[in-house]
Structure 1
Amino acid sequence: MPIAIDALQTFLAAVHPYDTLTADEIEALAHAFRPQAMKAGETVYRLGEPLQGLYLIHDGQVAVRDENDVQISALGPRNSFGERGLARDGIAVTSASTVTDSLLLVLPRADFLRLVETKPDVARFFDRSRQPRPKRSDLATSRVETLMTGDPLACAPETPVQDAAAAMRDAHVSSICVTDAGALRGILTIRDLSSKVVAAALPVTTPVSQVMTGDPVSLPPSAIGSDVLHMMMERRIGHIPVTEGDRLVGIVTQTDLTRFQALSSADIVRDVAHAGSIADMAAATARIPQLLVQLVAGGNRHEVVTRLITDVADTATRRLLSMAEDTLGPPPVPYLWLACGSQGRQEQTGVSDQDNCLFLDDAATEADMAYFHALATFVSDGLNACGYVYCPGDMMATNPKWCQPVRVWRQYFASWIAAPGPEAQMLASVMFDLRPIGGTPSLFEDLQRDTLALAARNSIFVAHLASNALKHTPPLGLLRGFATIRSGEHKNRLDLKHNGVVPVVDLARVYALQGKLAPVNTRARIEAAMAQGVLSATGGQDLLDAYDLIAETRLEHQARQIRAGRKVDNFLAPTDLSDFERSHLRNAFVVVKSLQSALGHGRGALG
């Protein structure tokens, strides 16, 4: 089935991304493409075989299948395929066969690689990760390890305060960390020397252990600069040690942050943390939509945007807990407020409801429950007033079922794992995303470790949770399009939450369970799974790229709605996207579908 060069040039000029080339470049490309006529049912290439090159369909239809022989794409004229294998080592990562008699155009691998290396627009089409992002060097995107002083001044607990003060003077610093065999035990600042030593007329021989701030709050090197600023503003402190485990590795001070700007989110955190009333707090959280718009417009990655937005919710929760205690009096026993859902994963966007619970010390009695019900009601009502609406499924600490002593929570998890029915799977999925927000963290630490170990040992539970993770599927249509919502208020739209982000969230949760991995954040779970070998390097990187694209598309959609003065939601009309954006969003869904298929065949993402 021959095709004339001039006809081929006309065809290429109407196909993206070749339409970005000049007429001379299209003519040269037309001579490089080789026509290949194939009958219906013929194999174009098999998984693991060397690829001839990039395939472009001129006429006909082609079915592409993954490594489990599950069809992931049905392609028609003007669609390309095979680029993923070409961009790696030239080996097919899928299989393809014709559905009808077809005319395929084959661009040899050498010509394809030369094209993407020399033409950025073409390269970005076949690899969205090549798209340039705004270069930013601000607090919002800088990791703590790039901000901290890596060799902080330190002394032993028994050091006299005079010696510690002299060391601070000589080093021209305003604090000194107190360590024992490298482990952080406390911090002593100039303010401590003034208020606790000089003002109290203590002897200069007093050990620093008697006047230091013991067990100070700290952050890991992987935290971002905004975490530092938010913590400083909320707690009114100027020095934050950086630790790995309990080992001191650095310190960040206010001086370290002077060259960085992240004032929008920090202003909201400050106003929330110091709000005198729920009305004041609600006025501050009302600025979150504009914060989202500014962060997205500034080119921040989705995990940074959602982290900053979640920081506000965390601060609001802690402020409400403090206000509740001021109103109700001190708690009768230690407690811990935890968030699950998107807040637990630090992935809140412009649409967030409440998902939370209370862990109580095992010393709690039935008589104590009235206090904690009142506390939960105060906080939940306050969050609702601040825009974090009540959970439709009543997954809140106001529900007595989710306000229980730790021993009861242990029983919950043990029963869900032992008998993983549909409800148990749902509840376990929600509760595996728990993250402490305010109270006594030790009430959760042992439970999290023990539950992960117990769940990972139960292969039946893992299999059920994996099956549950396949219930939300990417919205892929059969003919190179999307499976949009068929009826109702959101007809002809994509649900970027339940069919976009949630499938990735579910996969990451299963990988974390399989590897007994502690991270709760989705991206952190995928990275940890790759590091532990639970997830292959190629499968993991594909999933990260797909997740990034889906999550950022969701945020960009919400930002557009806010700018237009519309109510924020997760429902996107494909027609709101360009051909380029639709093509890559669909490719991202294909990646997620492939990894779901691998999980469904009991192979995880290895192999």
Structure 2
Amino acid sequence: MTSGSDNILQFLLELDPFDKLPKSMVERLATVASVKYLAKGEHIAFSALCERRHLYIIRKGAIEQRTSLKKLRSRLGEEDQFGFTFLEPIKDSEDGYQAHAIEDSLLYLIPHAYIIEVCHHHPEFKDYFAAAAKTRLHSAVNCIAKKEEKSLFFRTVGELASENITVADCNDSIKKVAQQMCGSQRSSCAVILQQHAIVGIVTDRDMTHQVVSKGIDTSLPIKRVMTPNPIIIKRDDKVIQAISLMLQYNIRCLPVVEGHNVVGLITTTHLVHNHRTQSLFLIEKIKYASSPNALSALKEERAMVFQSLVESGVSAEIQGQVMTMIMDAFTRRLIQLSEQVLGPPPCDYAWMVAGSHARNEVHMLSDQDSALVLSDKASAADRIYFTHLAMQVCNGLDAIGYPLCSGNYMAAAPKWNQPLSRWKEYYSKWIASPEYNRLLSISVFMEVRCIHGNADFVGELQAHMHQTIYGNPRFLKALTRDAIETSPPLGIFNSLVLEIGGEHSNTLNIKKFALNLIIDLARIYSLSAQGSQTGTEERFRYALEKGALSKDSCDSIIEAFRFITQVRLRHQLSQMKQGKIANNNINPDAFSSFERKHLKEAFKIISDLQSVAKLKFT
């Protein structure tokens, strides 16, 4: 190997994805790689007539990619790669694409044929070199998960489930089922069948609370005391799915099925024996906490849950759902404790959450976005009661680790503690005249969810909001114009959009310049199809279903959202481990080659969808 190819080898061995290939394969690529120098202003042109195709790797310098219409695609710096598109037949829309050197640049060129050879001998690496950015991002997201593939979260339910489960017919007597549950293979649960279909479930607690304590005649059929339509889980589902279901429905056991057959039972006992999931059941502790101070004492366990989820590599969607259920539980318990102190509420009301909390996307930085929707019969005296209630709950959440909203979008603020009719007036005014301040307010309350009280109030308010939006086409245009004012950072990383001044100077705010843009786009596309969903991914999927978004665009933006969210969450965890206060501001120098490459691809996907939204909706 020559000194030149040796330099290339050392460079590739530390560069994603070559660092994951066998060294012998990387050595082969280093020997066939060529070096190309581009002076500032020179360019490489690609067309359908290209015969010699390469994967280009920037060793030094900076490259700007432009389409045949001179539109900027992206700016690339050291260690970045391009030419993926030309590993597959060139599309007409990419004919004439050019790469311009905006600095004197040194490139390494690996012939197309040898990349194909790598994919042939190591098909697991095919996605790393795919022409579609969404495929490369999907591979990157899975790569993070695979590092912890053997963790408990990724084991199947069947591996942990107990085979000790009673199966009974719905017409069997209560006494007979109880005897079966207490038999030689004691079971804490009985699954009830009717003509071989699961129709109910009975636990040992049910036998105590529903039968013994009430003096029920045990000769009656078990269907009289069973819980109908039980939640079940498949044998091949992952443990994290079982945990999520238990938290969501506040249940202690899940029948495990294979096809139509009941094959076992998984309970909280099976899971809490493992320290990595024990903290996930702090919801049970929250439920029975006797004071706000007792709840505040549980905030360290909340941090443990977050760490377990991030380190286990579960999807950002599951992380958000679990952290949301925990925030829900803290909020509900604080409301209950406050009502015990203040007395029962004087009228009907709903505690409404907004923002990431309403989207089921809670993380360690999620602050409080909340409001109170009161009955239209609420008096001035009633309003005073709810002001005290909201102040106690909001201060309690702050003590637990959910910061007060810096914009004061909280139930404790009088403006957001209003009767239902007043809330309808708010939405009508915001939508009719979406100037900046009003657009900001409706952006906060675009996603709302009731977590305590009269859910019909929030449902009625959501219906009013959507009807008003659909009757005012100007609103979607205004929302789109606001959403595309901020662009993702397409530049090379030493020219990113960085914070200027203050404690976060020269860092990238990944929330402001990436995640918020995706959330805004999800709103726009969902509303354009008259959708009422609140979650980011489900909004994109709904827009696809209704034909408002192409499948390629939908898949691409969801993969971008997942990858950027993972980067954000791992950054937050890293800061927590260092004893720092977690934030959304990342020093670009802290990005690995892996993160830098895929973040740029994600930013490009966001920019492309913004361009489409601008043409389509404004």
CA RMSD of aligned residues (A): 4.8
Q: Indicate conservation of the 8 Å contact 2:338/2:392, yes or no.
A: yes
Give the C-alpha shift of residue 578 in structure 1: 2.4
More divergent stretch after superposition (216-225 vs 435-444): 216-225
In structure 2, how many angstroms separate the alpha carbons of the residues matched to 1:297 and 1:31? 38
Alignment CA distance shift 1:86-1:410 (3 Å): farther
**Match runs of 1:401-480 below 5 Å:** 401-477=415-491
Alignment CA distance shift 1:25-1:473 (3 Å): closer
| Aligned residue number for residue 74 of structure 2 | 73
In structure 2, how many angstroms separate the alpha carbons of the residues matched to 1:92 and 1:569? 43
Give the C-alpha shift of residue 396 in structure 1: 0.5
Please list the CA deviations of residues 339-369 of structure 1 after superposition, one character each: whole Å capped at 9, or x if unmatched: 1122222222222321101122333333321
Q: Indicate conservation of the 8 Å contact 1:456/1:515, yes or no.
A: no
Give the C-alpha shift of residue 297 in structure 1: 2.3
Q: Indicate conservation of the 8 Å contact 1:75/1:480, yes or no.
A: no
Alignment CA distance shift 1:586-1:264 (3 Å): farther
In structure 2, how many angstroms separate the alpha carbons of the residues matched to 1:154 and 1:48? 71
Alignment CA distance shift 1:209-1:274 (3 Å): same
| Aligned residue number for residue 583 of structure 1 | 597
In structure 1, how many angstroms separate the alpha carbons of the residues matched to 2:113 and 2:242? 44
More divergent stretch after superposition (395-404 vs 578-587): 578-587
Alignment CA distance shift 1:287-1:88 (3 Å): farther
Alignment CA distance shift 1:175-1:367 (3 Å): farther
Q: Indicate conservation of the 8 Å contact 2:54/2:109, yes or no.
A: yes
| Aligned residue number for residue 245 of structure 1 | none
**Match runs of 1:176-325 below 5 Å:** 191=205, 195-196=209-210, 199-201=213-215, 224-231=241-248, 237-238=251-252, 255-256=266-267, 259-260=270-271, 263-325=277-339
Please list the CA deviations of residues 523-547 of structure 1 after superposition, one character each: whole Å capped at 9, or x if unmatched: 3333333344332222222222222
In structure 2, how many angstroms separate the alpha carbons of the residues matched to 1:92 and 1:257? 56
Give the C-alpha shift of residue 557 in structure 1: 1.4
Give the C-alpha shift of residue 299 in structure 1: 2.5
State the AA in 2 paired with 1:418.
A
More divergent stretch after superposition (371-380 vs 19-28): 19-28
Give the C-alpha shift of residue 570 in structure 1: 1.6
In structure 2, how many angstroms separate the alpha carbons of the residues matched to 1:265 and 1:522? 27
Q: Indicate conservation of the 8 Å contact 1:324/1:375, yes or no.
A: yes
Is residue 558 from structure 1 mapped to residue 568 from structure 2 by the alignment?
no
In structure 2, how many angstroms separate the alpha carbons of the residues matched to 1:385 and 1:10? 55
| Aligned residue number for residue 46 of structure 2 | 45
Alignment CA distance shift 1:33-1:91 (3 Å): farther
Equivalent position SS for 1:438? strand
Gap regions ≥5 residues in structure 2: 131-135, 182-186
2:587 to 573, 582, 590: 573
In structure 1, how many angstroms separate the alpha carbons of the residues matched to 2:525 and 2:243? 28
| Aligned residue number for residue 184 of structure 2 | none
State the AA in 2 paired with 1:81.
F
Equivalent position SS for 1:378? helix
| Aligned residue number for residue 118 of structure 2 | 115
Alignment CA distance shift 1:170-1:273 (3 Å): closer
Q: What percent identity do the matched residue pairs reach?
A: 27
Give the C-alpha shift of residue 572 in structure 1: 1.2
Please list the CA deviations of residues 21-57 of structure 1 after superposition, one character each: whole Å capped at 9, or x if unmatched: 7588556565476979899576723699999453446
1:492 to 487, 496, 506: 506
Equivalent position SS for 1:287? helix
Is residue 599 from structure 1 mapped to residue 613 from structure 2 by the alignment?
yes
In structure 1, how many angstroms separate the alpha carbons of the residues matched to 2:564 and 2:515? 7
Give the C-alpha shift of residue 300 in structure 1: 2.7
Alignment CA distance shift 1:389-1:404 (3 Å): same
Please list the CA deviations of residues 370-413 of structure 1 after superposition, one character each: whole Å capped at 9, or x if unmatched: 22212111211211121212111110011222122222222222
| Aligned residue number for residue 64 of structure 2 | 63
| Aligned residue number for residue 505 of structure 1 | 519
Give the C-alpha shift of residue 257 in structure 1: 5.1
In structure 1, how many angstroms separate the alpha carbons of the residues matched to 2:49 and 2:419? 54
Matched residue count: 582
More divergent stretch after superposition (460-469 vs 104-113): 104-113
| Aligned residue number for residue 400 of structure 2 | 386
Equivalent position SS for 1:424? helix
| Aligned residue number for residue 55 of structure 2 | 54
Give the C-alpha shift of residue 17 in structure 1: 5.1
State the AA in 2 paired with 1:326.
Q
Q: Indicate conservation of the 8 Å contact 1:141/1:225, yes or no.
A: no
Give the C-alpha shift of residue 522 in structure 1: 2.0
Give the C-alpha shift of residue 276 in structure 1: 1.0
State the AA in 2 paired with 1:470.
I
Please list the CA deviations of residues 121-167 of structure 1 after superposition, one character each: whole Å capped at 9, or x if unmatched: 796487351524422574589799x9999xx9999xxx99x867768
Q: Indicate conservation of the 8 Å contact 1:59/1:104, yes or no.
A: yes
In structure 2, how many angstroms separate the alpha carbons of the residues matched to 1:134 and 1:54? 31
Alignment CA distance shift 1:574-1:284 (3 Å): same
Q: Indicate conservation of the 8 Å contact 2:43/2:99, yes or no.
A: yes
Give the C-alpha shift of residue 455 in structure 1: 2.1
Q: Indicate conservation of the 8 Å contact 2:35/2:106, yes or no.
A: no
State the AA in 2 paired with 1:451.
M
More divergent stretch after superposition (214-223 vs 551-560): 214-223
| Aligned residue number for residue 91 of structure 2 | 91
More divergent stretch after superposition (544-553 vs 130-139): 130-139
In the superposition, the TM-score normalised over structure 2's length comes to 0.77
Equivalent position SS for 1:275? coil
In structure 2, how many angstroms separate the alpha carbons of the residues matched to 1:170 and 1:66? 72
In structure 2, how many angstroms separate the alpha carbons of the residues matched to 1:87 and 1:453? 48
Please list the CA deviations of residues 245-297 of structure 1 after superposition, one character each: whole Å capped at 9, or x if unmatched: xxxx9999974555445634334322222111111110101333333233322
Is residue 332 from structure 1 mapped to residue 323 from structure 2 by the alignment?
no
| Aligned residue number for residue 133 of structure 2 | none
Q: Indicate conservation of the 8 Å contact 1:52/1:109, yes or no.
A: yes
Equivalent position SS for 1:224? helix
In structure 2, how many angstroms separate the alpha carbons of the residues matched to 1:201 and 1:415? 58
Q: Indicate conservation of the 8 Å contact 2:254/2:267, yes or no.
A: no
Alignment CA distance shift 1:293-1:187 (3 Å): closer
Q: Indicate conservation of the 8 Å contact 1:351/1:569, yes or no.
A: yes
State the AA in 2 paired with 1:263.
T
State the AA in 2 paired with 1:341.
G
